[in-house]
Amino acid sequence: MIIGTRGSKLALTQTEWVRTRMLARNPAAAIEVKVIRVSADWDSETPIRAGDARGVFVRELDDALLDGAIDLAVHSMKDVPSKLPDGIEIRVIPEREDARDALIARTPGATLGSLPHGAVIGTGSVRRQAQLLNARPDLRVTEIRGNVDTRLRKLDEGQYEAIILACAGLRRLGLGGRISSILQLDEMLPAPGQGALALATRAGDAETLRLAAPLHDPAAAAAVAAERAFLRQMGGGCNSPIAVHARRDGDSLRIDGLVFSPDGATAIRESLARPVQEAEAGGGALALALLDRGGREILAAVR
C-alpha cells in the first residue's frame, strides 16, 4: 500500500502519524509513503486567494489516486474542495486536533487586544484577515506565503509583529510553545474542516479502506460533515470569506457560522443546534440562514 502526501514538513508529519497508527493495527502490512509534488508548494506567483486556486493543495494527489500511483492520500481537510472528483471518496476522518487559530507574536504572551496600534499582521487567509479587521480595524494585515517554518522565520526577522496559524499544525509539528495566545471561537471562527485530516481513497477500494477504517472518529466526522455541508451551501472554497465550526454537545451538534466582507466591516453570524445524525442538514440550514440575512450580497460582491 502506498500513501501519497505533499512534501512539506507538516504534510509528512501528518502522513507519518497516519502510517504509524495503521501499522499498529496491521503490523504485517507493507505501507510506504510517496511524496507527490503539488503545484501550490512551488508556484509562488499564483496567489492562493485567486478564484481559480480552489483545490491547489490536493489536485495532484487526486490525480495520483485516480492513476493508481498511490492508494491513499492524506489531506488537511480544510484544503479539500467541497465537491470531490468522481472516483474519489473520503470515508475516514481521524480524531481531530484543536480547530482554533493561534496568534504567534514577537512579544511573548501577546493577545489580539494587546498588539500595538497599527501592528503588521501576516496571513494568507481572507477569513483571518476579515476577522482580524473586524476586531481591530487599526491593524495592517498583509499577505504571507510559505510553510510553517518559513512564516515563523519571517516573523522572527521582524517582517511582522505577529502572524496567525492553525493550532493544529503547530502542535503536530511540536511547535505549540510558539503560540502567544489561542484565538477563542468568539474572536475567530476557523475554516471548514480546520484541524481535521481526510484520508482519501479510490471509490470501491475495499482493501485500502479496511486498513484505514480503524482510524475513523465518528465525532470528528459529524462535525466535519456539518462544516462541509455549510461550505457547499455557501458556495465557497478554502479561502472564501466564510467561517464555521461544529462541535458535539451530548447528542447534539452546536454549529456556529459566519460570513463577512474582506475588510471586516460587515459580519453576519448565526448559530444553531441539531441532532448529531442531522449534521449535514444542520450545516446546510445554517448556511441558508446566513445567506438570507445578507450573505448572498456579501459573497456576490466578493466574486
Grid cell 441539531 is found at 274
Is 148 domain-assigned? yes
The predicted structure's pLDDT at residue 237:
64
Instruction: Encode the chain (303 residues) as per-residue pLDDT tens digits.
Output: 999 999 999 999 999 999 999 999 999 999 999 999 886 665 444 444 444 445 778 999 999 999 999 999 999 999 998 889 999 999 999 999 999 999 999 998 999 999 999 999 999 999 999 999 999 999 999 999 888 999 999 999 999 999 999 999 999 999 999 999 999 999 999 999 999 999 999 999 999 999 999 999 999 999 999 999 999 999 876 568 999 999 998 889 999 999 999 999 999 999 999 999 999 999 999 999 999 999 999 998 887
Catalytic residue among 52, 63, 71, 79: 79
Regarding whether 289 and 266 lie in a shared domain, the answer is yes
User: Distance between CA atoms of 277 and 71, rounded to whole angstroms?
Assistant: 30
52 is catalytic: no
Q: Interior CA angle at 43 toward 302 and 150, to 5°?
A: 95
Is the whole model's pTM more than 0.85, yes or no? yes
Domain match, 163 and 205 both:
no
Residues 212 and 232 both lie in one domain: no
248 and 174 inside one domain? no
Question: Is residue 222 assigned to a domain?
Answer: yes
| Closest by Cα among 249, 262, 217 to 77 | 217
| Contact assessment for residue 103 and residue 111, using Cβ atoms and an 8 Å cutoff | yes
Do 165 and 279 fall into the same domain? Answer: no
The pLDDT value recorded for residue 52 is: 41
CATH number at residue 149: 3.40.190.10
pLDDT at 138: 97
Query: At 16, is the secondary structure helix, strand, or coil?
Result: helix
Domain that holds residue 226: 217-303
What residues pair up with 103 in beta bridges, in sequence order?
Answer: 164, 181
